[in-house]
Structure 1
Amino acid sequence: MLTSLVLNKMHSNNARLISLNILYGVFKEDKQPNKLLNELSNTKAMSKSDIAFVFKMVYGTIQYKIYLEYVVNKIIKPNKTNYKIQLLLWLNLYQIKFLNTPQYSVNNEAVEVAKIIDNNLAGFVNATTKKLANLDLWKVDIKNNQNKIPLEYGFPFWLYKSLEQDYSKEIALQIVQSSNNQTMFSFRVNENKISQIEFEKLYKHKFNLKKSKIAKNCYLTDFNIINTQVFDQGLVFIQDETSILAVELLDLEKQSKVIDMCCAPGGKLSYIASLVDKKNLVDAFEINENKKNIIYSNLNRLGINNVNIEFKSALNINKKYERILLDAPCSGFGVLKRKPDIKLKKFSKKDMDALYQLQFDLLQKGFEHLLDEGILVYSTCTINKKENQNQIKVFLDNNKNAKLIFEKQFFGFEGNNNGFYIAKIKKLKK
C-alpha cells in the first residue's frame, strides 16, 4: 500500500507533467491555455489542489515566459536542447523565483518528470536546476536599457514600444508593471432574480464585497464566487467593471429599441436584456456560431429570455434602433492579466489592417441604423490606439452628424479592471 507521502509526490509529478504538456500545446501547437485548463477542471482524475497548482504554473510561466527563457538560455544551448526539457526548466525557475519553492523540492520533482521525457536527460535537468537557484543568474543584463523592465516582467519589447509611442513612457511602464497583477473577482448582480440591496444584505460580509468605483452594478471579491450557489443559481454574472460600464452608458429605458452587434459570450447582452422591459425583445448578432452554446448557457442560467439572436455578421443589420452596442472584434491587448498568452502573439500588418477595416465597417453600419438622437456605444478590450481613439477620430471625420459625448481609455492599472476603451456617440438630426 502506498504511503500518503508517495501519493502526494505522484500527484505533484503528475501535475507538473500536465502543466508541461499544456504549455507545449500553447507554445508549439498554438492552443488556447484557458480551453486546455477548463478541460482539466472538468476532470475528476486530479484533486482540486493539484488542478489549482497546474493553473498557477501554466499562467505564471506564460506571464513570465520571455524572462524565464532569457534566464534559462544563459546556461543551456536552446537549439540543442529538447524543447520539453526547456519547458521543464522554465517551470522550475518560475517555482524557485516567483513561488519561493525550495530548490531541492523543485529539483527532485523535475528529475522524475525528466525521466518520463527522456531518462538520459535526468542528470542534465538535475545539474541545470541547481544552477537556476543562483540569484546572480536572475539579473537582467542587456545592452538595451529600454528593454530591461519589460524583460523583467516578461513583456514583449515591441508591444512596450508601441504603447510608449501611442501614449507615453510613464503609461507604458505602468501597463508593463501591472500586467502580471492578480485581480479580484468582478461581477454584477442579476437584478432579474435579486436586487443589489437584497444581495448586499445577504452576502456583503460572507464574500467581503467591495463596490466598484467604475460601474454602478458591480462588486469585487477575493472569494472564488464561481464555485458557489449564487453563481449556479444565476444571481451573478462574472464581468469586468469596464464591460459593465459600457452597457450602463447606453442610458437604456424600459422600451428602448436596442441591439448588441457582437454579443458573445452574452454578458453585455444579458445585462441589456435585464435593464429593459421583459416584454421588450433585444436584438443581437454573433458571427461565430460556435459560441451559440456558451451564449445560451449564460442566458439560461440568468433566466434571460427576451432576446433575439441571429448568428451572422452584424453587417447584415437591417432595422433602426435607439440604442446600439458595438463591442467590436479587437486585438485583445487589454486583457493581459486574464489571458497572458495574448502578449506573446504578434499580429501581422495584413491581419491588423483587416481588423481596422472590419471595426470601421461595423461602426459605420451601426451608425447608419441608429435613429436620430439615438446613442451608439463603441467598445474594445484593447489598449491599441489605432483600434480606439484613432478609429473614432476617422469615424467622426466621416460623419458630421455624430457627436462624441464620452470617451475613456482604461489601461488596466487604474484598479481591479482590465484595459478597455469606450466611446459614446450620439446621432444628431441633420
Structure 2
Amino acid sequence: MATTAPDDTSTARPIAPVDVSDAALYVEDRWHEPFADLRANMPLAWHPESPYGPYWSVSSHRLIQQVEALPDLYSSARAITITDARDDVPFDNFIAMDRPQHTEQRRVVQPSFNPSEMKRREGEIRQRVTELFDGLSQGETFDWVEQVSIPLTIGMICVLFDFPWEERHDLKRWSDWASEVTPDQSDERTALWMEQMMQMLTRFDALLEEKRAQPPGDDVMSRIIHSEAMGQMPAAERMGNIALLIVGGNDTTRNSMSGFIDAINRFPDQLKRLHAESDLIPNAASEIIRWQSPVTHMRRTATEDAELDGQAIRAGEKLILWYISGNRDESLFDDADRFDVARENARRHIGFGFGIHRCVGARLAELQLQIYIEEIVRRNICIEPRGDWERLASPFLHGFTKMPVEIVAE
C-alpha cells in the first residue's frame, strides 16, 4: 500500500464497462456479473461519468480493507454515500467524520452496544421475536417484510432510544428517507427530504430535552444528551447522528432478516442443516450478512494525491467501496455466491465495514439475527414465496420492499 503522490507516468485509468451505481442492477438482481467482471479484471476501476459524477469503484475484499485501513488518507468527512452532500443540508454524523471528532462521538454511543449490554437485552429480544412469531398465520399469504422484518427491527430501535412505541411508524418513515440515495438532487426532492428530516429533528429534540431534565439513563438518547462530546452539539449535527443510528439499526438488520428468507429458499439444504446442527446458527448469522450485504457501499474521498493498486488517485476523488462485491470475492470465499451456514470464514465479511468505521451496532445486529434464525429453526416452519418479491431501488442499501410468503408447517 502506497500513500505517496503519483507521478505523471502513471498508466491510463482502467475504465469500468458498467456503471454499477445504477439502481436497476439491484432492483432486477443483475449486479452479480458486473462485479465479478470488475473483481477479475479491474478491482480498481474508474467511472468517468455517472448520475452521481465520476468515481472509483473498489470491488475486491483486499482493496476495500486497504482503503478502510487508511482513514486519514481516504476520508469519510465529505460524504459516506456516492451522492455528493449538498452544502445546504447540514446533517453531519460521526460516521461521516474523521479523527479525532469521530472517535469522541462514537465513544458516547458505544456502551449501548457492548457485550454486557447485549447480554442484558437478549431476553427482551427473544421475547419480542417469540411474540411476533406466535401471531403469524399459517396457510395465509402475507408480506414478510411488513409483518416480520420491519416490526422486529423498529421495535429494537424503540427500546434502544426509549422512543414511544405508538410512534414507531414515524421511525420507519424517517429511516427510509434518511437512507435514500438518488441522483435526483433537485430542489423539489431535497425539499421533501428536508421536510421529513425536520419532522424527525423536532420530535427527537423534544425527547432529548425530556432526557436532559432526567438523571442519566442507559438508553441512547440519554447517553447523547448527557455526554460532553455530543450533549451541546448543534441540533442538525445531533440529528445526523440519530438518523445514522436509526438507519444502521433498522435498515441493515431488516434487510438481512429478509435476505435470510431469500437464502433458505434458494438453498433449502442449508435450513435443513441448521435443523440438524443448531450450533451453526451463530455462524449462519454472519453468513447471511456476508451473502446479503445489506449495505451495498460506503464512500471515501481522497484527501491528497495517492497511489492505490498502481493507479493514481487525485485529491478530492471519491472511492466507492462496494461491500456487496467484496463479500462475494472468490479469492477469499470459496463458492462465494452460495449461502453456506458452515462457511469457515464467514466472519471475515465486510458487511459491517472495516477499521475505525466498523458498524458500532454490529453485536446487536448479530444477536437479533441469531435469535430470529433460532426461532425459525425451532418452529420447524417452511416459508414459501407467494407472488413476486420486490427489491429496494437503491445502490446504497440492498434488500426487499415486499416479500409475499406463506408459512407451511414441515
TM-score by length of 1: 0.25
**Who wins on radius of gyration, i.e. which is larger?**
1
* TM-score in terms of structure 2 length: 0.25
Q: Which has the higher contact order (CA 8 A, sep 6+)?
A: 2
